[in-house]
Structure 1
Amino acid sequence: MQRPGRAVQLVGLTAALAAAAGTAAAGLAAPTSPASAGSSLNPAQAEALSAARIERRDLGSRDMSRFELSLSSTQKATQEAKAAQVAKARAAQLAANATITERRALALAAAKATAAKKAAAATKAAAAAKAAALAKAAAEAKAEQQAEAKERSAATSMRITLPTTGYHLTAHFGQGGSRWASNHTGLDFAAPMGTPVRSVLPGEVIQAEFAGAYGRQVKVRHSDGTVTSYGHMAEFSVNVGDVVAAGTQVGAIGMSGNTTGPHVHFEVLLGGSDQVDPEPWLRDHGVNP
């Protein structure tokens, strides 16, 4: 479908061509000689004909100029319209590009924020894990120290000593003879009068009294229920209910009770009543009488 402006251009062009053709035809027509002109047209007619031809030529020239102006104006308008369309398209493209750029920037910022958040969370988790590991290590170290301290304490509490010093053994467990009503029930450590007699293990004093043939006797009950007995002493250094450590003095070498010389009669009673040989018992606990 032709545009209206284009149709006007064609009409104007057609008219201009027609006028030009008429002018050209008039110009190309055989010149009429004065004689022939005079024979066919009078001067007034000839002048009128010439004026008409000139007018048609001028009209054709004006129409051509108008057509050219109209065509130029149309072309200019078309070019301006195309330029406006191109500018509009470029503006739309620029706007689209700006939108894409903005979206990319927002997406990048969001990605960076997410990455930073994850990194912060990872750092926090690592710090928490490190703190937990340090706390665990500290707790384990403390528990180990406590266990070692407990072991040392237990070892110290079970540390054993001999009943006295500067002694020599004068009678052994199960030994018979006229000195005793039955076989000997303990181990005799002979030493000078007044030599300290000590508890062989930590424990509680459950007896400190004169006990007939045993003379002045002290009994100490230990943590495993074993009772150790110290007899024939010259004096007491403890009272019933006292808590003693290994090596605590409970009395002194004497000759009280049934005895032929200064010594301490040492007995070991498992469970508080079963008399056993003190020598292997002392060796089992780390000392050699």
Structure 2
Amino acid sequence: MFQSGKEDITTRLSRDRVACSFDKTELRAFLLILQERLDAAAELEIVHFQKNKQTDDEYEYNKNEIRLGYKLRPTLTGEDGRELYGTIDEVFESPNFPELVESAYLNSSIPLDAVHKFTVRNSVEVFLDFSRPAIFDFNLMPSQRTPNGTHYKVKGRDATWVNGLFHEMQSYLSRHRSPAPWMHEHSIYDIFLWLIGYPFAFWLCFKVSPFLPEGSAETAFVRAALYVYIFLMALVGLRALFHYSRWVFPIAEYRHIRSRVLSHRTFLAALSLGLFGTVLYDTFKALALG
């Protein structure tokens, strides 16, 4: 067991709900960037590490333990529940590496704290939540932000190191953004509903009106009820389509060569173009004839 030096002012920088898109190679490259900066942090730690009453051998041994303690040990969880923990090379070269990664977590302060009760000067914590929102879970309110735990936090007593790593992470993640993070923001669904949803529901009622019964007062009631039912079903269908769009374009995504996301995106584009293209065509046609 060994002790760190005196306490200084701690700087903390963090960001939540990070939009990002990684494949296996890009994720590994991101972690290697963090490891490179943590190697520098280990040397900063050693500069402030006091020898006190340690012997020369103990002092050198403990300095080496600090360097080893700054080696990243990420935890990766697959969609099948498989979990891998170890160094970057151990995890990414493992034959058990999951085909689809559900999440990735790392906290560089844990190894030294767990083994030696040693509080490091500088550390980084990252959680990448690659989970996708359920399509038919209507308990999720579409007007609210999509739940996602992706975040990163850098803290330490060396402000230059903290600021440098934080901005380097921001720069890397901005180059690997997911395609449509705006879709998961607050009130986007409300805008979609007013601009597209309600007009589509009215258009659908208009299109089916020739097929609804006419005549007596009873059939007039049935006709009115069917209009209401069709209108509501159109909104329910569009809500499912909106949830599906959020599933196809998650906030944080892990891409795999055998993933079917590309085919889903193609299907979503064709479906949206077919539905709303028809609505726009009928609208322009009506305005032209009018």
TM class, shorter-chain normalised?
Answer: under 0.3
The structure showing larger relative contact order (alpha-carbon pairs under 8 Å, at least 6 residues apart) is 2
Higher strand share: 1
TM-score, structure 1 normalization: 0.19
Greater gyration radius? 1
